[in-house]
């Protein structure tokens, strides 16, 4: 059942659990490897609609990412799709079209499941324990480069990590 509000705490908890399960201890987080170890093959392709960043196809066990996107955008899309896989697998099984990701600013999404997948992705790519390690000596843009994320994703994480 689709929730009315995004559960960001659960998204963060599951992202940290995923990092622990795959023994991730440093940045950048190897999202391609995590996806592959989960049994999800990452495939780069093009879409007729360039507003599509990627999709997850559980029938084939694929995450398809837009080959025209930057590597940082592709990493976020993969992390987002892993988030759907971890958080919403039951819903994906019953509604495969749900796994299509359209370009939205990270804080501009309104659908709770998309918000959760974005929260999962941000926490997977920039977990607080690693952010604490790097942020105090690396300026925002340099920290974004260390984590392999856009400045927008770094700002999103810093705004939501009051404990830094």
Q: What's the sign of the alpha-carbon dihedral 69, 71, 74, 76?
A: negative
**What would the mean pLDDT of 83-90 be, rounded to a whole number?**
93
Cα gap 6→89, rounded to integer Å: 16
Q: At what angle do helices 112-125 and 8-21 cross, to 10 degrees?
A: 40
What pLDDT does 102 receive?
A: 58
Q: Is residue 65 part of a domain?
A: yes
Q: Is residue 134 part of a domain?
A: no
pLDDT over threshold 60, residue 105: no
Confidence grade of residue 106 (pLDDT, cut at 50, 70, 90): low
* Total number of domains constituting the chain: 1
Residue 62, domain extent: 8-126
User: Among 37, 27, 45, 38, which Cα is nearest to 145's?
Assistant: 27
Cis status, amide bond into 128, omega within 30 of 0: no
pLDDT digits (tens, 9 = 90+) for 1-35: 455 799 999 999 999 999 999 999 999 999 999 99
CATH number reported for the structural domain that contains residue 54 in this entry = 1.10.10.2910
Cα gap 81→100, rounded to integer Å: 9
Q: Phi, psi (5° rounding) for residue 33?
A: -65, -40
**What would the mean pLDDT of 68-81 be, rounded to a whole number?**
95
What pLDDT does 109 receive?
A: 73
Distance of CA 156 to the CA centre of its chain: 12
What pLDDT does 67 receive?
A: 96
């Amino acid at each position: 059942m689709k929730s009315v509000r995004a559960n960001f705490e659960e998204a963060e908890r599951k992202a940290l659990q995923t990092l622990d399960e795959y023994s991730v201890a440093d940045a950048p987080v190897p999202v391609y490897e995590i996806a592959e170890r989960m049994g999800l093959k990452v495939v780069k392709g093009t879409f007729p609609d360039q507003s599509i960043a990627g999709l997850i196809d559980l029938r084939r066990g694929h995450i398809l990412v837009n080959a025209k996107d930057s590597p940082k955008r592709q990493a976020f899309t993969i992390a987002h799709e892993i988030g759907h896989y971890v958080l919403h697998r039951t819903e994906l099984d019953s509604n495969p079209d749900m796994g299509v990701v359209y370009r939205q600013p990270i804080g501009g999404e309104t659908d709770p499941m998309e918000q959760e997948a974005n929260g999962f992705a941000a926490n997977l790519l920039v977990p607080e324990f690693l952010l604490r390690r790097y942020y105090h000596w690396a300026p925002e843009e340099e920290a974004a480069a260390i984590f392999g994320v856009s400045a927008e994703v770094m700002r999103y994480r810093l705004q939501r990590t009051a404990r830094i």
